[in-house]
């Protein structure tokens, strides 16, 4: 129940934030004419690009750590067969 209330407050906060940021802004791209888009779109895209960058960074770091770890750990030796 508490989790549902937290999500409800979060959604209400996002809706209020978005409704107050509907002004049109000019975005100057590298080449070409400026594009007019709502401010909430610029904020959302900036958040999304940052989120994706962070996820890729974590994935790359995890893969790098696993490769280092596998390099330094010795594989288990095969079991010795005793003959009687």
pTM of this structure: 0.65
Two tokens, residue 34? 């400026």
- Whether 6 shows a pLDDT value over 90: the answer reads yes
Instruction: State the average pLDDT for the chain.
Output: 87
> At residue 50, does pLDDT exceed 90?
yes
* Beta strands per DSSP E along 1-84: 24-27, 35-38
Instruction: At 44, list the tokens.
Output: 């959302």
Indicate if the pLDDT at residue 77 is higher than 80.
Answer: no
Half-sphere CA count of 20, side-chain side, radius 13 A: 6
- What dihedral do alpha carbons 3, 8, 14, 15 form, nearest 10°? 170
pLDDT-derived band of residue 67, with 50, 70 and 90 as boundaries? confident
Q: Structure tokens of 66?
A: 């696993």
Asked whether 20 and 43 are in contact (CB, 8 A), the reply is no
pLDDT score of 74: 63
pLDDT of 30 above 90 = no
């Amino acid at each position: 129940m508490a989790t549902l209330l937290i999500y409800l407050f979060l959604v209400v906060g996002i809706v209020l934030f978005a409704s107050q940021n509907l002004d049109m802004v000019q975005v100057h791209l590298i080449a070409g004419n400026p594009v007019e888009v709502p401010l909430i779109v610029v904020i959302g895209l900036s958040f999304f690009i940052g989120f994706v960058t962070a996820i890729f960074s974590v994935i790359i770091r995890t893969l790098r750590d696993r490769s280092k770890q596998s390099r330094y750990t010795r594989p288990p030796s095969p079991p010795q067969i005793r003959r009687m």
